Structure formats: C-alpha cells, structure tokens
Structure 1
Amino acid sequence: MSRPTKHHPERGDARTRLLEAARDVIRAQGFAATSIDDLCRAAGVTKGAFFHHFESKEALGVTAARFWAETTAAFFAGAPYHDHDDPLERVLAYVDFRKAIIEGDPAEFTCLVGTMTQEAYGSSPAIREACAASIFGHAATLEPDIRAAMRARRIKADWSAASLAAHTQAVLQGAFILAKATGDREIARDSVDHLRRYVGFLFSNTSQGKTP
C-alpha cells in the first residue's frame, strides 16, 4: 500500500497526490500537527493547488477518510483470506492477515481513520462521521462470513455477527494505540493473537444454547 515517490513520473493529479500525502503524513504525525504546508510539501504541489481542490484542512480530512476507505477496500478485497471454503477459516484468516501486515514503523501499519478519529471526534463532526463510515464499513465486510460460520456451527448466542465484526476493529484500533505508545509493533501483534484466540473460543461452543 505504499505510494510512489515524489519523482515518480505517473503519480497522478494534484488532488490524488494530496490525498496520498495526507494518508502518510497524518499517520506519522497526527492530524492536528499536520499543516497545509506539510501536505503540499509532501505532495509536491503548491498551496494554490491545495485550495483549488479543498476549501480547508477539514475538507481534506473528510475526503482523505473516504479515500482511505476506497483504497483499503480494494486492498482487502484482494487479500488471500477470502480463498478458504469454510467461513470460520475465512474469519480466522482475516485476523491472521491483519497480524501479518503489522510491519515496519507505526506510521506504516496504523489506521488513518483511527488516528483522525482520536483527534477530531469532538472538534470536527464531519471528520468523525467520515471516519466512522470507513471503520464500520470495513467491519460490515466481515459480517457475512461470521454469520455463515454461526449457521454452520449452529451457534445461537447473545452476540451478533455485527457486534463481533465491530469488536475486531476495536481490538485492532486499540492495538495500534499500544504500538504507538510503546514504539513496539510486537505489542500490537500480541493483541491480534489474543483476538484470534477469542474468536476461536466463541466458535468452540457448538451447542444450541447461548455461548458463555
């Protein structure tokens, strides 16, 4: 999911370059600490080009959240966890895939919309809503497999496919925060291991009653 360098001859238009710069710079230093000048410098465009495409930094933030949702949707749609026949194996393989892509510095593997939500949830409803749409939109892609796994194993529980899908994102976002706090990606990978064990536990009870 890396982006071309400044000198790449096919980087695309100024708007795309600004959105790619936002993706990278905001994950590295946060939304509040990122200035329009920072974004223009990283994108290799003028401030005039910025304001041609975005009326404000907040408008850029909203569009960046949507851009993140679109580009990560394509990334996850092509991921290998979809290849399993068993829906539970697809869910567990998704968790394994999330662990596998926790590599490099926190800015490389953490979530843009999670980062912006932490900073802007109270100050920018527009950014908060765009970030929520991205996070819950991704969670929704897990629901069909979770639901199918529940049916296949005759799980009747006081939790739903939607609630478990949302929980996966809660664990991942929390894991990213711990990695940022410690500067150590292994703590995030450990959290994902615990998530995998938890999902396995939920589906280990194949009785007709509610799971504990």
Structure 2
Amino acid sequence: MPRASMREQLVDAAHDHFHEHGFNGSGIKEITDAAGVPKGSFYNHFDSKESMAVEVMRRYGESRRLEMLADESVTPVERIRNHFAYLAEDLGRYDYTRGCMFGNFGAELSTQSGTIRAEVSDSFAAWESALAAALGQAQAAGQLASTVDSAVLAGFLVNAWEGAAMRAKVVGDSSPLDHFFTVFDSMTA
C-alpha cells in the first residue's frame, strides 16, 4: 500500500493537534512528531503554521457535510435536522471535548490573525448560505412556523449551534445540543 504524502500526514496530524490543543497549544515540532516526519519537511509543504491552519480549516469545512442541506430527496426540515444531528454525532464521538474547529479558531485567533479570521468568517458564511437555502425551502413548503428571513434565521441557528457546541465542551455532555434540537423542533410546523 503506498504511503500517504508527507503533506497529508502533516495536515492529518495538525487537524488532531489543533482540535485537541488549539492553535497556540500546538507546536510545529509536536505536529511533525505526530505525523512521523522530520521537522524540516514542514517548510517544504507550508510557509507557516498559519498557512497549515488554513488548509486544516478548509478540510474541516469539507467534513461538515453541507451537501446534506441540498439533498432534495429529503424534506427541507429533515435535511436541516439531519445535518445538525451529524454535527452532534461528531462532537459526541470525542466525548464533547473538541468543539467545532471554526468556533474554536474564531475564539482563539480572531484578534491574532486576520488570515484565520477571514477563513473562519468565510466558513461560517458558506454554512449560513447553505442553511438559508434549506430554511427558505422549508418555509415555502410550510414546514417552519417562523417567518423570519431565512438568512437571518440561518445566522441565528449557526450562532446558537456554535454556542451549544462550546457549552457541550464545557459541561462534557450533549445537554446543550439537546436544548438546541428542542428549540429547533419547536420551530417546525
């Protein structure tokens, strides 16, 4: 079986380190050691730890499965609920210790790095856009009791989810996520 490229090994190791220890708590040496590659090889693939973090966030964004929100074989409300259920399962897989990388990086780095802040902002915007489309379809189908503009509602749900994910990290269980679902379910018609 061919060996994964050093770049892939570095990104995988950085993903785990950043998610577990944060950006500032993860050193390049720790990441290269975890990847099983020489420290010097890091700079063959990345200009900086910040550029690696951008790549990690992009890959993390791809793993958030936004395409679920556009799956027209499922009703809009089911798509939305299934999407958030997938995110909840992901948080539970790590016993609620990791949180959402977008939220984590936003909280940790938004005042330290304009590049990271922009990437987090773009990631939230893409999520809100996909969610707003599904919410608009749910409203048009009469599946939502709320008449709030779908873009505003999407922003609210992303903000609520991020707060619930952070709180789940603090309390170490799913109760904040359960509250999110209770409120979401109360909005459905």
**Does the TM-score normalized on the shorter chain lie above 0.5?**
yes
Distance 1:11 1:160 in 2: 49
Larger radius of gyration: 1
Name the structure 2 match of 1:60: 52
Q: Write the letter of the residue equivalent to 1:40.
A: T
Match of 2:162 among 169, 173, 178: 173
Tell me, in whole angstroms, the C-alpha distance in 1 between the residues paired with 2:128 and 2:83.
Answer: 11
Unaligned runs of 5+ in 1: 1-8, 205-212
* 1:209 corresponds to: none
8 A Cα contact 1:140 1:162, kept in partner: yes
**Cα-to-partner distance string for 1:79-116 (whole Å, 9 max, x where unaligned):** 69947532122222333333333233335x52222211
Check if 1:190 corresponds to 2:175. yes
Indicate conservation of the 8 Å contact 1:58/1:127, yes or no: yes
Query: How far apart, CA to CA, are the structure 1 residues paired with 2:179 and 2:3?
Result: 39
Change (3 A) 1:154 1:97: closer
The code of the aligned residue for 2:186 comes to F
Q: Distance in 2 between matches of 1:154 and 1:17?
A: 44
Number of residues of Structure 1 aligned to a counterpart in Structure 2 = 188
What TM-score do you get using the length of structure 2 for normalisation?
Answer: 0.84
The 3 A distance-change label for structure 1 pair 129 and 175 is same
**Corresponding residue for residue 141 of structure 1:** 130
Q: Note the C-alpha offset of 1:152.
A: 1.3
Between the aligned residues of both structures, percent identity stands at: 25
What's the CA shift string for 1:45-78, capped at 9, x where partnerless? 11221111111112212222222223x15x453x
Shift, 1:128, TM fit: 1.0
Pick aligned residue for 2:107 from 118, 124, 127: 118
**Does 1:19 pair with 2:18?**
no
- Whether the 8 Å contact between 2:70 and 2:130 is mirrored in structure 1 is no
Q: 1:151 aligns with which of 137, 140, 143?
A: 140
- 1:39-58 alignment runs, 5 A limit: 39-58=31-50
State TM-score, norm by structure 1. Answer: 0.76
* Residue 201 in structure 1 maps to residue 186 in structure 2: yes
Root-mean-square deviation (Å): 2.7
What are the ranges of 5 or more consecutive residues in structure 2 without an aligned counterpart?
Answer: none
One-letter amino acid of the structure 1 residue matched with residue 51 of structure 2: A
CA offsets 1:101-134 (integer angstroms, 9 cap, x no match): 3233335x52222211111100101011112212
